[in-house]
A and B are shown apart, each in its own frame.
Chain A
Amino acid sequence: AQKITQTQPGMFVQEKEAVTLDCTYDTSDPSYGLFWYKQPSSGEMIFLIYQGSYDQQNATEGRYSLNFQKARKSANLVISASQLGDSAMYFCAMREGGTNDYKLSFGAGTTVTVRA
């Protein structure tokens, strides 16, 4: 079974608008961490934001925020005030606890295109 599901293969957003990227996860481990990475066309993987399963508040990093709904097992990324430079592929990833707690499970990614 897929541990991370990103159902939106591609999205278009107008510059200066907000965009929400969906991510649902599957785990029975009470301890886990959720990550979002950005991969622009140049290819590098850039860490954006982290949410721990025990964190009481939703994570925020500048224009990025994570809408964490634990009961629904969703960790959606919200990008506010989109910029042309936000055009990229975005990956959601999860690290579970236990003996394999170093492993990241990645989703298939969502391509975001920001229009001027």
Chain B
Amino acid sequence: DAGVIQSPRHEVTEMGQEVTLRCKPISGHNSLFWYRQTMMRGLELLIYFNNNVPIDDSGMPEDRFSAKMPNASFSTLKIQPSEPRDSAVYFCASSSGLAGRADTQYFGPGTRLTVL
């Protein structure tokens, strides 16, 4: 089975540009998570979707960040306008939403974003 798919794997952009990160969760999973990883702050949860509905976006840094999940197999994280401090690795993860071990979050390969 395919795991979580993210694109692009690497993105280099200039300050002020719009950046869109994409994620395809594991088929059948109904929970989707976006994380950001930096050396300074470690792994931070940005937003959590359940059945395509945003449940918790308290980790989204500011209004420049937005996330959508138009259907069960696709989600986007958009940064507009991007700033150098947004440089990080962004992970998408999905889980089944069931209890216990079955609710393990499986991570995608990540998108390494560099904002110049």
Contacts and interface: CB of A to CB of B under 8 A. Distances in A.
Interface of A: 33, 35, 37, 43-47, 50, 52, 91, 95, 100, 102-104, 106, 108-109
21 contacts: A33-B100, A33-B103, A35-B104, A35-B105, A43-B109, A43-B112, A44-B109, A44-B110, A47-B106, A47-B107, A50-B104, A52-B100, A52-B101, A95-B103, A102-B31, A102-B48, A102-B50, A102-B55, A102-B56, A103-B48, A103-B56
Contacts, number: 48
Given A43-B109, A43-B112, A45-B107, A104 B101 contact: no
A104 B45 contact: yes
A81 to B, nearest CB: 24
Please classify how large the interface on chain B is, using the bins under 10, 10 to 19, 20 to 34, 35 or more: 20 to 34
A112 to B, nearest CB: 17
Contact of B43 (A43, A52, A102, A106): A106
Interface in B11-56: 31, 33, 42-43, 45, 48, 50, 55-56
Majority DSSP secondary structure for residues of B touching A: strand
A103 B43 CA distance: 12
Contacts of B104: 35, 47, 50
Given A33-B101, A43-B89, A91 B112 contact: no
